[in-house]
Amino acid sequence: MSVTLRQMRLFVAVAQQLSFTAAAGTVNITQSALTAAIRSLESELGLKLLDRTTRRVRLTAEGEQFLAMAERLLGDIDASLENIRSIAARMRGHVTLSSASSFLRYVACPAVARLARTHPGVTVRLVEQTVDVATRAVLAGEVDFAICGLVQPNVEISDVTILRDRFGVLGLPSQMPGQGGDSRTREVQRSGPVRWSELDPDRYVALASSYGLRQLIERHRSVTDALRNPRYEVASTASLALLLEEGLGYGIVPAMTAQPLLEHGFVFLPLEGPVVHRELHIIKRRNHGLSPAATALVEQFAPIIAALETIDGIELRLSQPAVTRFLDS
């Protein structure tokens, strides 16, 4: 017996329409070819599946049973094929990701490395952008998704929170509040939290007002009154590090942003009174699903972020149910 998938699909079409004419139109073949295919199927099975008259078509008892089996079998086959296609799509494709610089180093780049091992055919483009630029790039379809602080809610954006980290003071040991900027105090390092009220605005090196981190700080009026007119202002965290290295003062950044600089002699002290956090989100266009390749990259983030919770001031916020809701939004 050699019943083909094509024969089963044609039979299902006739059974659903109860009309050879209508079914022939849906499967895009001639009525005579459809009739011949059904007769061949009945011959292979040795069963009469349809009662045909000039006025109507109806299923026989055997036809009812075969229809249920055929629909179940075709459904399983179609689902399996779709799964294979999805796997194939995830094994190749292209992803463009916009990210905050600290997230690139500690999460995005390790995630890309994991993706390269499991999906070697996927190509990835990483770009570093400010919050405003990243949001515009997402809305314009220039990037698949972005990792950034969601400073302003946007009805055209879907987001999921992945982590939050605490703001603190970053600088050389001699430049920490209470040290007076005197290099002779370099050996006496402060280790506890710093209150916002202790900060000296004359020694504050600020990020540009267009920078997402600066905007997050300035949401809290109670902590920024003394920092409204910084003496120094820079356009990036790289420039911030260069000025701090010259001993010109201190910066205010979240814990993750501070991490790479701790390897170069800087210290980071958490701020309190009040405690202020930065949240990082994955954002995408609402009602625009991510490609299989982009989805595969997003799925690499959670285990990497979980490992970062050993760093003081960093908390994981990403869960699988939240990721699923985000991908479906």
Identify the bridge partners of residue 52 per DSSP, sorted by sequence position.
Answer: 57
Q: 27 and 72 in one domain? A: yes
Identity at 276, one-letter amino acid code: V
Q: 228 and 177 in one domain? A: yes
pLDDT of residue 192: 78
Q: Which of 88, 104, 135 is the last residue of a domain?
A: 88
In three-state secondary structure terms, 143 is coil
- Number of structural domains found in the chain: 3
Q: 172 and 146 in one domain? A: no
The whole-angstrom separation of Cα 175 and Cα 75 is 68
Residue 161 near residue 280 (C-beta atoms within 8 A)? yes
Residues of the chain with pLDDT under 70: 1, 86-91, 150-151, 179-190, 222-226
Domain span at 17: 5-88
Q: 79 and 109 in one domain? A: no
The whole-angstrom separation of Cα 213 and Cα 218 is 9
Q: Which of 43, 68, 88 is the last residue of a domain?
A: 88
Q: What is the CATH number of the domain that holds 224?
A: 3.40.190.10
Instruction: Tell me the pairing of strands 205-207 and 232-234.
Output: parallel
Q: 241 and 256 in one domain? A: yes
pLDDT of residue 86: 66
pLDDT of residue 313: 85
Q: 53 and 102 in one domain? A: no
Q: What is the CATH number of the domain that holds 21?
A: 1.10.10.10
Q: 170 and 183 in one domain? A: yes
Q: 222 and 317 in one domain? A: no
Q: 105 and 196 in one domain? A: no
pLDDT in tens, 217-271: 877 776 666 677 788 999 888 899 999 999 999 999 999 889 888 888 899 999 9
The whole-angstrom separation of Cα 301 and Cα 26 is 44
Q: 304 and 172 in one domain? A: no
Q: 199 and 134 in one domain? A: no
Q: Which of 57, 88, 119 is the last residue of a domain?
A: 88
pLDDT of residue 185: 42
Q: 232 and 171 in one domain? A: yes
Residue 204 near residue 232 (C-beta atoms within 8 A)? yes
